Structure 1
Amino acid sequence: MSDIVVLSGSPSERSRSDLVLRHLGTLLEKEKLKVTHISIRDVPQEVLFYGKYDSQAIQEITSLIQNAKGVIIGSPVYKAAYSGVLKALIDLLPQDVLQDTPVLPIMTGGSPAHLLAIEYTLKPLLANLKGQNLKGVYLLDSQINKESLENPIIDFEILERTRKQLYYFIQTVQKQQTAVLR
C-alpha cells in the first residue's frame, strides 16, 4: 500500500506536469513516504474511450487511490481546464474515491491568464469526489526546465511555494493519520 498516490493527467510523453509531479514524489520519498506514480498514459486507451469502469486497470487505480493516505493530482491546462483524458479517467472512478483524503492539486500552463483554472476547474472536480482540497500550486511553463530531472522548477519563488505546499500536504496527511489511529 502506498502512502501517497501521484496522478498525472498529462497525455504528453515529455510533460512539464509530469516532471514537477515526479520531483514532488522524490521529495516525498526523502520524507520516508511510499509513493506510487500513475500516469494517464498508463491507462489503456480503450478503457478510457469506451468507458470501461469495471476494467482491471480502473479497479487497480481505484484501489490505490482509496488506500492512499494522500493524493497529488496534476494536469496541464488545456482550453482553460484540466486535460480531457484526466476527466475521462475521473469519470470512471467511484464518486467518493477521494473520501476525506487530503489532495494537493497541481497545474501547469503557458500563461498567467490560466491561473484560476486550478480554482474553477480542478478543485471543484476533486471536491465532487469528496477529496479534502488543499491550496494547490499553478506553475508557468517558463518556470519549469524540461531538461532537468533532478529539480525541474527553476524559479526560486515558485519552488519555495511548491515546497511549502508539499510540506503542508505532508503535515495534513500525518495529522489525519494520527487522528484515525486514536
Structure 2
Amino acid sequence: MTTYTIAAVSAGLSQPSSTRLLADRLGAAATAALRGHGADDVRVVPVDVRDHAHALTDNVLTGFPNSALREVLETVTGADGLIAVTPVFNASYSGLFKTFFDVIEPGALEGVPVLLGATGGTARHSLAIDFALRPLMAYLRATVAPTGVYAASEDWGSEESGLAARIERAGGELAALVAGRAPAVAPDPYEQPTPFEQLLRSASGA
C-alpha cells in the first residue's frame, strides 16, 4: 500500500485566511495528482504557523521548542512533501514564516520536495516567490517544484486569472517529485544479521 504525507504550512495571520485557503487548494491538487501516480492514501497535514507564534519566539530565545512545536516540526521534516505558503509583506515572506523555517534543524529539509505559494493584495508582489522564497529553500537544500503559485486578491473567484490552472499544474509537479523520491527507510538490523561464527570469533578475541 502506497501512502504519502504532505505537510501544508501556511503563515497567514487572520482567520479565515487566503493563505490557508491557497495551501488547502494546493494540497487538494497534489492529492489528486498523487492518486494518479498510484497512491493508495494521501494525508495532507495543515500547519497554521500563527498557532505557534509564541512557541516560535520562545524557541528562538531559548534554542528549544516546546512539546507541541517539536511535534509540528517533526511532522514537517518527516513528511514526504511540503507545501509552504506565506502572505507577502514588504515585498517578501512574512517574519512569522521565516521564523518557522529558522528553527528547523539544519539539513532536515534536504531533498524534500517543496511547493511554494504566496498571497498578496496586488499582483505586483508575485515575484516574491522567485527572489525570496526560492533562495530560502535552496539554502535549506530542499527540492523545489518549478511552478510557484501566487494569488492576488483579484485572482480569487476569477476564471480569467488562471489561478485554478496554476494550482493544478503546481500540484502535479509536487506529486511527481514526491512519487519519484526514494523513501528514506531506516535499515533493518535483522535483515543482514552478523553470522554466529563471527560473533564467536569476536568473543574469543580471535
Q: Same fold (TM over 0.5)?
A: yes
Task: Check if 1:142 corresponds to 2:154.
Answer: yes
Identity %: 27
CA contact (8 A) 2:9 2:48 kept: yes
Q: 1:29, 1:133 → 2: CA distance?
A: 17
CA shift in 2, pair 1:163/1:12, >3 Å: same
Q: Which amino acid aligns with 1:47?
A: A
Q: 1:40, 1:81 → 2: CA distance?
A: 17
Q: 2:84, 2:64 → 1: CA distance?
A: 22
1:176 corresponding residue in structure 2: 181
Q: Which amino acid aligns with 1:137?
A: V
Shift of 1:154: 4.8
Moved over 4 A (4+): 153-156
CA contact (8 A) 1:28 1:35 kept: no
Number of matched pairs:
172
2:17 corresponding residue in structure 1: 15
Shift of 1:41: 2.0
Give the one of 155, 163, 166 matched to 1:158: 163
1:86-117: CA deviation from partner (whole Å, max 9, x where unpaired): 11211111122211011000011122221111
CA shift in 2, pair 1:101/1:108, >3 Å: same
1:76 corresponding residue in structure 2: 87
Q: Which amino acid aligns with 2:123?
A: P
CA shift in 2, pair 1:178/1:63, >3 Å: closer
Measured on the aligned residues, the alpha-carbon RMSD in Å equals 2.3
Residue ranges of structure 1 left out of the alignment (5+ in a row) = 146-152
Residue ranges of structure 2 left out of the alignment (5+ in a row) = 36-40, 186-206
In our comparison, the structure showing a higher alpha carbon Rg is 2
TM-score w.r.t. the length of structure 2 is 0.75
Shift of 1:156: 5.6
Q: 1:123, 1:81 → 2: CA distance?
A: 11
